[in-house]
A and B are shown apart, each in its own frame.
Chain A
């Protein structure tokens, strides 16, 4: 069974640029959630996708957007990057919308300069 994978591992971008982060869910999982973890903090929920539809969103501006594909992999897009967007971005997958167990990938470390 393959776990959650994310790419890239690290990324450095300049303020104002756009970035796309990618996530492959664990085998058999159709629900993907994205979280932002600032240094020394707990992860903060960005949004969740279930079967290609957004299924809940946290307190993040519209420049944070996402997609889920038919194979249940997912992308997180962030436009107009700001310095405060520097964080570890985590993807978590689960078996279904009604299943609580969420399994996290290793994350993508984004640095905005």
Chain B
């Protein structure tokens, strides 16, 4: 019930392409869904986040799509760049400000 399942485990995209990472959850009490970007040897950096009353949120090249009925959400990276190569984690939280529950991560590689 508290799991967040993320796919794919790894992703290779050509420069300029669209990267898509998907997550699914079971607990309908989750009310905040962030995405984090992590480079090797660094801590996760908050990228973009969404609440379930919104179906889409866009910030620059990053877009979250949210499907409340399907309990799924996804990250789209438009015009992917080699500098986007990193591990991406989806996460969920409930009980306002409580613990973040992370997906397993997706290692993205953008080829020039």
Q: B-contacting residues of A (Cβ < 8 Å)?
A: 4, 6, 31, 33, 35, 40-45, 48, 55-56, 58, 90, 92, 94, 96-107, 109
- Interface size of B by CB at 8 A reads 24
Bits for B90-106, please: 1 = Cβ < 8 Å to A, else 0.
Answer: 01010011111111110
Distance in Å: Cβ of A80 to nearest Cβ of chain B: 24
Q: A101 and B103: CB pair below 8 A?
A: no
Q: Are A43 and B34 in contact (CB under 8 A)?
A: no
B97 touches A106 (CB 8 A): no
Contacts of B8 in A (CB 8 A): none
Tell me the nearest residue of chain A to B98, going by C-beta. A56
Taking a contact as CB atoms closer than 8 A, the residue among A42, A48, A56 that contacts B102 in the complex is: A42
Known contacts A100-B97, A104-B46; 6 additional CB pairs below 8 A are A33-B100, A35-B100, A42-B89, A42-B105, A100-B96, A106-B41
Inter-chain contact A41/B42, CB cutoff 8 Å: no
A-B contact pairs, 11 of them (CB 8 A): A6-B43, A33-B99, A40-B105, A43-B102, A56-B98, A58-B99, A100-B97, A102-B34, A103-B46, A104-B46, A109-B41
Chain B residues lying within 8 Å of A43, measured Cβ to Cβ, are 44, 89, 100, 102
Which chain B residues lie closer than 8 Å to A41 at the CB level? 104-105
Residues of A within 8 A of B103 (CB): 42
Residue B32 lies at the interface, judged by CB distance under 8 Å to chain A: yes
CA of A40 to CA of B43 in the docked complex: distance in angstroms?
A: 13
Closest partner residue, chain B, to A109 (CB atom): B41
Q: Mark B76-112, 1 if CB is under 8 A from A, else 0.
A: 0000000000000101010011111111110000000
